[in-house]
Amino acid sequence: MTGTIQKPREATANDKENILRVIGSYSQGKWDKPIAKKYFDDFFDYKKLFEQDKVYVVEDNDNIVGVIGYHVDKYETNNFWLGWFYVHSDYEKKGYGEHLFKFVKEKLKNKNVKKLFVDTSSNEFYKTALLRYIKYGFKLEAVIKNYYEKNEDQLILSIDI
């Protein structure tokens, strides 16, 4: 990182491969990149369907090093969910994650969002993400047993905005 972290910007279709590179920098996350590819293919190809979804990237020397987004629960509650929050593995612990999260939190505060949800896995690989969410103030709301696979639960957390 050189100096001040740049302000995140809204992602464009031209960023898709670099976003997937960031997500794919974690080789242990066997499902993350393929699922992200499906999402971003739809997100960029069907903008009208995803008009309430937002995806932002942060760069270091014109190189995308982090991604974060949010989406509204369109059909039920008008609650918001955090999505695709990754910092490239080579750029961990340099302030990019906290910078991205504060940026999104401020965006949602300006939309008068009351609560933000996020889900993650109980798999050991995702422990760092879970600890990051807790550090940022998220609290555990629910555990769905064996959601992903046997003995791999879905953890749902939330934070008041």
pLDDT digits (tens, 9 = 90+) for 84-132: 999 999 999 999 999 999 999 999 999 888 899 999 999 999 999 999 9
What was the pLDDT predicted at 85? 96
29 against 49, higher pLDDT: 49
Instruction: Give yes or no for residue 47 having a pLDDT over 90.
Output: no
Q: Does 12 or 77 have the greater pLDDT score?
A: 12
Q: Is the dihedral of CA 32, 27, 137, 101 positive or negative?
A: negative
What superfamily would CATH give domain 9-160? Gcn5-related N-acetyltransferase (GNAT) (3.40.630.30)
Single pTM value for the model:
0.90
Alpha helix ranges (H) inside the chain:
16-23, 32-45, 96-110, 127-135
C-alpha to C-alpha distance for 105 and 70, rounded to whole angstroms: 10
CA 94 – CA 127 distance, rounded (Å): 18
Domain locations in the chain as residue ranges = 9-160
